[in-house]
């Protein structure tokens, strides 16, 4: 798939909702959160940034990220979603590279992604692992009994800065 990456506007809200729900992984509450973040971003809130992947005029994926409050140049990648029918064809990688490139250009240091230990998130974890993300931490039972929070991180600079002095 060749896709182009562009900013999102208000006209993309309904399609973003459809994509997020259509991923088949997220709870309704999480779908609502994605839309709230888009609304805040469109209202000019710099805490949440979005980029869309398009096939022609059609939105086929998006990423959402923002600076992590209270940190020095750390960012959270809040969402990355690709149309179910087009997963596995490189769109997610293009989105991720775009986000990382923007963060690097902006002096970004560390990217943090939160995901789940559930079996249905296995392809998602593999996606991050084969793109240079380390499985840094786990909080057992965080989401629900047997559903851990898994935190992935990627250092964008020297690989030294994120470490505490021993």
Ligand X SMILES: CC(C)(COP(=O)(O)OP(=O)(O)OC[C@H]1O[C@@H](n2cnc3c(N)ncnc32)[C@H](O)[C@@H]1OP(=O)(O)O)[C@@H](O)C(=O)NCCC(=O)NCCS
Q: Which residues in this chain contact ligand X in the complex, by CB under 6 A?
A: 23, 25, 79-82, 87-93, 115, 123-124, 126-127, 130
- CB-based closest residue to ligand X: 92
What's phi and psi for 112, nearest 5 deg?
A: -120, 130
Cβ atoms of 23 and 81 within 8 Å: the answer is yes
Q: How far is the CB of 72 from ligand X (least distance, A)?
A: 24
Q: How far is the CB of 132 from ligand X (least distance, A)?
A: 11
**Helix/strand/coil for 57:** coil
Nearer to ligand X (CB atom), residue 79 or residue 133: 79
Q: Residue ranges of the alpha helices (H) in 11-147?
A: 13-22, 28-42, 91-105, 122-129
Q: How far is the CB of 105 from ligand X (least distance, A)?
A: 21
Nearer to ligand X (CB atom), residue 93 or residue 153: 93
The whole-angstrom separation of Cα 166 and Cα 153 is 19
Nearer to ligand X (CB atom), residue 38 or residue 91: 91
CA angle 22, 134, 41 (to 5 degrees): 45
Task: State how beta strands 110-116 and 74-82 pair.
Answer: parallel
What's phi and psi for 53, nearest 5 deg?
A: -105, 130
**Helix/strand/coil for 128:** helix
Q: How far is the CB of 163 from ligand X (least distance, A)?
A: 26
Nearer to ligand X (CB atom), residue 60 or residue 156: 60
Nearer to ligand X (CB atom), residue 30 or residue 161: 30
Q: How far is the CB of 85 from ligand X (least distance, A)?
A: 10
């Amino acid at each position: 798939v060749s896709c182009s990456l562009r900013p999102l506007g208000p006209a993309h809200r309904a399609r973003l909702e459809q994509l997020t729900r259509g991923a088949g992984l997220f709870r309704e509450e999480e779908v609502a959160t994605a839309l709230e973040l888009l609304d805040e971003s469109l209202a000019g809130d710099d805490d949440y940034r979005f980029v869309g992947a398009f096939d022609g005029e059609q939105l086929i994926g998006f990423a959402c990220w923002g600076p992590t409050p209270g940190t020095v140049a750390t960012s959270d990648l809040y969402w990355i979603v690709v149309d179910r029918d087009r997963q596995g064809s490189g769109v997610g990688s293009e989105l991720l590279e775009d986000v990382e490139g923007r963060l690097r250009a902006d002096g970004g240091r560390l990217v943090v992604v939160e995901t789940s230990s559930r079996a249905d998130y296995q392809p998602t974890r593999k996606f991050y692992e084969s793109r240079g993300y380390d499985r840094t931490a786990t909080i057992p039972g965080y989401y629900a009994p047997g559903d851990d929070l898994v935190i992935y991180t990627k250092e964008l600079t020297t690989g030294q800065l994120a470490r505490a002095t021993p």
